[in-house]
Amino acid sequence: MELNHISHADLQEYVENEVGQAKRQIIERHLQYCAQCRQELAHYQSLSTALNRDIDLQINPDFADIVLHRLEANIAQRRFGRWLFVIAGLASGLILLIALIIFTRTAYFQNLWMNTIVTAFRPLEKTYQLFSELLAMINIEPQVIGLASVILLSFLFMDYIFNKHSDWIKGLIKHFPILC
């Protein structure tokens, strides 16, 4: 008989109204003749009532006000932080600009600037030379390459305009907006 008693889980679910119709009937039939399970059920019913009784939470009556105060302080602090950021950004930008203006007026800068241009263009010149030699070797006129580039670029452009472009083209255009 011991094996046929209602399980504690089922008794609890019965108390909490969590059992289906079929199980409910089985439990109720068993309870009619089993005093032991009735006793257990009574305990669980009392426990459930006791558990459902609300507890004293001792909430500070100023609780909501304290939270609101903290929230407002947080917001103010963040706003101040943002302004501080803007002001600091503007100030450092201004300082940089002034420094740059002063710097461009020095003789040192004038010389440096000229040197930079010359050095920067030297490898470019070399590359172009190398490129035309290469083209001459495989017997293609530079004009053909130029034409092909123009066609390719206009294709990319049309593709972008008509919104049929693939993701990598989109990415390319995003990163190199100069293309369109």
Partner 1 sequence: MNDIKVLIEKIIRGDTRAFQTIMNDYQRLVFHIVTRMVDRVEDREDICQDVFIKVFENLSKFQFNAKLSTWIAQIAYNHCLNYLEKKRIPLFNDLDIDGDFEMQPGDMISPEEYTEQQDMTARLQQAISAMPIQFRTIITLYHLQHMTYQEIVEITHLPEGTVKNYLFRARKWLKDRLISTYAQEDIWN
**Dist. CA 96–CA 102, nearest whole Å:** 10
| 100-125: b (≥16 Cβ within 10 Å) or e | eeeeeeeeeeeeeeeeeeeeeeeeee
Interacting stretch for partner 1, rule CB under 8 A, among 20-28, 58-66, 106-114, 119-127?
58-66
Does 38 bind Zn ion (CB under 5 A)? Our answer is no
Interacting stretch for Zn ion, rule CB under 5 A, among 34-42, 70-78, 94-102, 117-125?
34-42
Does 67 bind partner 1 (CB under 8 A)? Our answer is yes
The residue among 126, 147, 143 whose CA lies nearest residue 135 is: 143
Q: Identify what 67 binds: partner 1, Zn ion, none; CB under 5 to 8 Å per kind.
A: partner 1
Q: Identify what 145 binds: partner 1, Zn ion, none; CB under 5 to 8 Å per kind.
A: none
> Which residues lie near Zn ion (CB under 5 A)?
5, 34, 36-37
**Residues of this chain that bind partner 1 (CB under 8 A):** 8-9, 12, 18, 43-44, 46-55, 57, 59-60, 63-64, 66-68, 70-72, 74-75
